[in-house]
Structure 1
Amino acid sequence: MKKKILAGIGAFALSFSLLGSASAAGNVQADLAKVRNATAKYHDVRKAIADGYISTEFVVPNMGIHFVKEELIDGVTDPLTPEVLVYEPTKNGLKLVAVEYMSTVPNRLFGLEMDPPHDGLPFSLHAWIWAPNPDGMFKPFNPRVANVED
């Protein structure tokens, strides 16, 4: 399954777009602040690797490099423990820019339905909690994220 997830992320990123935007359900900003707090340690990519996140090893245009913790991809989605960490490659190393949630069943996070399965990947939802996204917090692509090292 690991190879399928890692390979599928590239195909997903190149062809899928998220429809809709965040609803007013719950206090989304407060929830996102909790996610930032829970994932702040992963600004150091070595800590992500130590915690079991594995690099996809390729840059997805306007997303970055995905580090996946496959054992978390099941029917349970915990906002404070994302299944995927997304890093932007820079001349100074990898910069944490987003988290991505994946689930084998439909789930709701931050008042949104997760994107349906696509290209062999499970349900998913991005949250650009560490890099502003002019297209929206929960859109899968971010035009401000570099495609290659600056």
Structure 2
Amino acid sequence: MSLRSRAAGAALALAVPFALAAVPADATPVPDPDPLVWTDLTPTYTATADYQYEPFAVTDGYARAATCDRSGQGGAGYHYVKDAGLGSLDPAEPAGLLYETDADGRRALAGVEWIVRAGGAGTPPTLFGQSFQGPTAVPGVKEPVYTLRAWIWKDNPSGLFAPWNPTVTCP
């Protein structure tokens, strides 16, 4: 893709938080803990917009997991983990990307994930006023970790920061 395409992706990333904030009148949204969270997530949208084209994620150092992660509460999809991002609490540097397979058989970006090594009996970190889940296992990461998922590229009826998305399916 050209530089112009990447610039268009960045412009889209800036517009998405405002578009997602508009909810149809007949919908019953799950309230976010802080209405300003969409503004707080703007750096995340900007940093991950290019990864809607999955090969850019791989080129930038995100390693694909071969299995699709699913539970009785929904799916998380395919984890793509960047080792250099493990431990980051920077909104613009999530260590993980969450993809699902779309109707055309391609990988579609659904969410992002911050991943912090559990390393003992520590207290889970917080980000955006949300406590991380865990300790748990993440495909592609060898040790137990704390995670925080944000479903910024695909709506999640369970909530923006819910650990599982019932609309994410595994093939």
TM-score, length-scaled by structure 2: 0.67
1:77 and 1:45 map into 2 onto residues whose CA distance is 23
SS at match of 1:117: strand
Task: Determine if contact 1:22/1:110 at 8 Å carries over to the other structure.
Answer: no
Return structure 1 stretches of 4+ with deviation > 3 angstroms: none
1:138 aligns with 2:161: yes
Choose 1 or 2 for highest CA Rg.
2
Deviations 1:112-137 (A, max 9, x none): 11123124421110000000000011
- Name structure 2 gaps, 5 residues minimum: 1-30, 119-123, 138-142
Q: Describe the superposition over 1:39-89 as per-residue Cα deviations: whole angstroms up to 9, x where unpaired.
A: 100001110001100001111121211101122213x32111110000011
Report 1 or 2 for greater relative contact order, CA contacts < 8 Å, sequence distance ≥ 6: 1
Task: Confirm or deny: 8 A CA contact 1:22 1:112 kept in the other structure.
Answer: no
Aligned position for 1:29:
38
User: Paired residues, what number?
Assistant: 126
Q: 2:130 is matched with which residue?
A: 112
CA RMSD of aligned residues (A): 1.8
Equivalent position to 1:82, from 72, 91, 94:
94
Q: In proportion to residue count, which structure has more strand? A: 2
Unaligned 5+ runs, structure 1: 1-20
Q: Is the 8 A contact 2:133 2:163 kept in 1?
A: no
Determine the structure 2 residue equivalent to 1:124: 147
**Aligned residues with identical type, % of pairs:** 33
Q: Name the residue aligned to 1:43.
A: 52
